[in-house]
Amino acid sequence: MLKKTGFAITLATALTLGTQAIAETSLDIKFAGALEFAEDGTLFVGDNHNGAIYAFETTSAANEGQIMPSSIANIDAKIAELLGVGASAIEINDIAAHPVSNDIYISVTRIGNLVSHPAIVTVSQDQNISLLDLATLEFQKQELNEFPNGEITFNGRPGGPGPALPRDRAKTAVPINSLAIMDMEYYDGELFVSGVATDNFLSTLRRMPYPFDGAQSVANVEMYHIAHDQYESRAPIRAMSIQEIDGKPQLVAAYTCSPIVLVPLDEIEDGAKISARTIMDYGNGQPIDMIAFNFQSPFGGEAEPTLFVTSNSRQPQLIPISGLQNTPVVTHNDFERGPKLDDHPIMPFGPVGKNVMFEGVPLHMTMVADGFFASITRDAYNGSLNLDTNPSWFPNRIHNLLAEFDFPQYDPAVSQARMAE
C-alpha cells in the first residue's frame, strides 16, 4: 500500500531522523546519497555507510501548473535552518525530480555531535521547502554484495610536483566504501548501480530487479583511459545513462578526467569482467551528473536526443546521442604514450559534442518535466549556493552577465538597419 509523502513533519521529529524515528520503523538508513526515481514515483536512495539501497514508495499529485524559471538563493542555509543546524553542518549529496509532481528531492547529510544523520528535503514548484518524513513511507531494502571494507581509506597523494599538503592528506581519512554507490539508473524494471566493491578489481556495475528480491549481479569494469594513458579497474563510473546505441541498450558512462565509455547491458552479468568500450575523452575533471533530454533550440530545428554532463572542474558538456552511434572503440594502440592534459593536441578526443556556457558552477543537476534543468549552483561572484530551475536550451541565469543588451541606450533596430545596408 502506498502512503502519502509527509510534508508536515515537526522540527522535533526532524532532529530524530536516523535515531528515534528510524528505531520505531526498523528503518536503519545511515546515509542519503545518490537518488533515482522510477516512473511511478518510487524513490531509490543509496546508503554508502550501510552498503544498501532503499526504495521508498512515494505518491504525489500531478503538477498541473506550468514550470517556470525560478531561483532559491542560499538553498544550503534554508535547508540547514529546516534541520536546526548551521549551514556549515550540512552536505548536499544529490538531487532528483519526482516524475509526477515535479518536486525536487535533495539528499543531505546533517553533521553534528560527532555523528551524521541522513535527510531528504523536498522543494515544491511553489518553492516550499519541506523535510520528507521517511518514517511514514513503505520501503524495501537491498543490501549490496561485496561491500568494501570501511577501514580501508584512500592515499593522500600530492596535488602537484611538491609534497602532499594537508588538504591532500585529508583523503587518508576518507573510506573507500564512500564510493560504493556513485550513480543509479532505473531502466526497464531493473536498477543499475555504479560504484566500487571488494578485492583489487574495484570498479563495479551492479544490476538488480525491482521490486527487490535479494538477487543482484555484480560485474567488474575495466577501461582504457586516454588522458591517463593507462588501463583502470579501480576508479568507479561517476555518472551514467542508458541509451539505445548501435541497435541495443548500452550504458553510457563517464569517469573522472573524463572518458566516455559504452557497456552493453547484456554484458553486465554476475561475475563478469567487462572491458568497457572507450570512445571519447573530453578532458580532465570529475563528472557529477549525466542527464538525457531532447535538446530543442528556440531558433528552430528538430529536437535532438542529447546528454548533458556536468563536472566539478569544467563547463557542462553537450553530447548528441547521434555522435555515439557507430563510433570506433579505442585502445592504447591508438595513442602515443604518456598522460594528456587539456592542451594536448589530441584533446578533446572523439565525438565529444560541445562545451557550453553555464554561469557559476553546477554541482548537482536533474531534469524537470522534460524541458527544464534544476541545478544546485555555486554563484560565481558571491559564492552563494542556489537552487535554480531554467529551460534546458539555456540553463542559466544571466544576473552576473553585463552585455550590450543591458545598456539603457540599447536599440536592436540600429544594428538591424546597419546589417541591411
Rounded-to-integer distance, Cα 293 and Cα 296, Å: 9
* Bond into 348 cis (ω within 30): yes
* 93-109 pLDDT tens trace: 999 999 999 999 999 99
- Give the pLDDT band (50/70/90) at residue 113: low
* 299-317 pLDDT tens trace: 988 999 999 999 999 999 9
What sign results for the dihedral spanned by CA atoms 185, 187, 191, 194?
negative
Q: What pTM value is reported for the model?
A: 0.90
Is 12 part of any domain? yes
CB-CB contact of 220 with 201 (8 Å): yes
Is 395 part of any domain? yes
Pairing of strands 304-311, 248-254: unpaired
CB-CB contact of 245 with 324 (8 Å): yes
Query: Range of 283's domain?
Result: 3-406
How many domains would you assign to the chain?
Answer: 1
Is 414 part of any domain? no
- Give the pLDDT band (50/70/90) at residue 92: very high
Pairing of strands 70-72, 385-391: antiparallel
Rounded-to-integer distance, Cα 301 and Cα 38, Å: 31
Is 415 part of any domain? no
How large is the average pLDDT for residues 222-231?
Answer: 97
Is 83 part of any domain? yes
Rounded-to-integer distance, Cα 106 and Cα 92, Å: 7
Q: What is the pLDDT of residue 65?
A: 76
Is 23 part of any domain? yes
Rounded-to-integer distance, Cα 221 and Cα 228, Å: 17
* 123-151 pLDDT tens trace: 999 999 999 999 999 999 999 999 998 88
C-alpha pair distances (Å), 238 with each of 195, 234, 354, 382: 8, 12, 20, 28
CB-CB contact of 330 with 260 (8 Å): no
Is 418 part of any domain? no
Is 95 part of any domain? yes
> Which grid coordinates belong to 325?
552511434
Mean pLDDT of the chain: 90
